[in-house]
Amino acid sequence: MVAIPIRMYLATEAHSAVAFRQLCPHCQRPIKQQRHCPTDEHVVAFSEVLRGYEVGKDQFVIIEDEDLEKLPLKTTRTIDIVEFVDRDEVPLGLYVKSAYYLEPEDVGVKPFALLMRALEDSNKVAVAKVALRDREHLCLIQVQGNALLCNTLNWPDEIRSTEELNLPTNVKISDKEVQMATSLIENLSDSFNPERYTDEYKAAFEQVVDRKLKGLQVTAPTPVREARVMDLMAALKASVEATKQGKRKEAAAKPAAGRKVKVAAKTAATRPAARRRTA
């Protein structure tokens, strides 16, 4: 048994692009939400609200934060590694939920670094269990750059079956159609760089707000015509040619060799979610 004292930090943060306030329909001023007790007919302040677990009709057990800290569960304050698996075996798409960075405390620096090195050299990830908030999570620990990343996962019974979907079967596709579709994919292929993509929703929303402030009418964009593909090969050929032209335009618009392009990025401080240890 090797115990590594660590801290957990949220690795991601949600950026709410658009936030709305609830307004009164008469005076158009913000309204207040109140927690009302129907038994004693009074308003309960949020700081006074208790957390209850229903065990029967109108029967509740009051649960405090201290009670959750005392759960008879070894993963309450420990990330318990149970096994190691090949990195390529894990179908992350359906399973990944949240992401946390792990940081060693002073006394755990060497075993932490050793775990990172061993995972990297063996191309393995650690399968573990950890209790966060009101439930136990399955999780994966893997090397991410110069850090250890802990991803909480969905349990298998939380993943819905594809049997509910009306998926195509026995569709006849010619070799030429496959070749043309592959050419289209190759023309649009590039290395993954998320910084190339931006969220355009907020900018579009601000345009709507600006027009309403100026008393102008908000007009909807021209709807895209529904494409009815009568000749799949003709549509594929046209798409391939369009992507080739797009590639040529991008190449012509790129800065000359040797010219430096500065990119500004903002960083946000992360708050520790919890102090834990891996075992």
190 lies in some domain: no
Give the pLDDT score at 142: 92
Give the pLDDT score at 1: 55
Closest CA to 179 of 114, 252, 232: 232
105 lies in some domain: yes
133 lies in some domain: yes
Q: How many CA atoms lie within 13 A of 84 on its CB side?
A: 13
pTM for this entry: 0.65
User: Are the C-beta atoms of residues 87 and 124 closer than 8 Å to each other?
Assistant: yes
85 lies in some domain: yes
Helix axes 175-187, 232-253, angle to 10 degrees: 20
Query: HEC profile for the chain?
Result: CCCEEEEEEECCCCCCCCCCCCECCCCCCECCCCEEECCCCEEECHHHCCCEEEEECCEEEECCHHHHHCCCCCCCCEEEEEEEEEHHHCCHHHHEEEEEEEEECHHHHHHHHHHHHHHHHHCEEEEEEEEECCEEEEEEEEEECCEEEEEEECCHHHCCCHHHCCCCCCCCCCHHHHHHHHHHHHHCCCCCCHHHCCCCHHHHHHHHHHHHHCCCCCCCCCCCCCCCCCCHHHHHHHHHHHHHHHHHHHHHHCCCCCCCCCCCCCCCCCCEEEEEEEC
166 lies in some domain: no
Locus of tokens 């405090």: 64
Q: How far apart are alpha carbons 107 and 6 in whole angstroms?
A: 9
Which CATH number fits the domain that encloses residue 109? 2.40.290.10
Give the pLDDT score at 227: 55
Give the pLDDT score at 131: 86
* Cα 167-171-176 angle, rounded to 5 deg: 130
147 lies in some domain: yes
Give the pLDDT score at 279: 53
127 lies in some domain: yes
Which residues constitute the domain of residue 155?
74-159
Closest CA to 146 of 194, 103, 89: 103
Domain count, the chain: 1
Q: What is the pLDDT along the chain (279 residues), one digit of tens a residue?
A: 567 788 888 888 777 667 888 898 999 899 888 888 888 888 888 888 898 888 888 888 888 887 777 776 767 678 787 788 887 777 677 788 889 999 999 888 999 999 999 999 999 999 999 988 778 899 999 999 999 999 999 998 888 888 888 888 888 888 888 888 888 888 878 877 778 777 777 777 788 888 878 888 877 777 666 556 557 778 778 888 888 877 777 777 765 544 333 333 333 333 444 555 555
CA of 38: how far to CAs of 44, 50, 213, in Å?
10, 15, 41
Give the pLDDT score at 127: 93
59 lies in some domain: no
Give the pLDDT score at 225: 64
Q: How far apart are alpha carbons 117 and 211 in whole angstroms?
A: 56
Give the pLDDT score at 91: 67
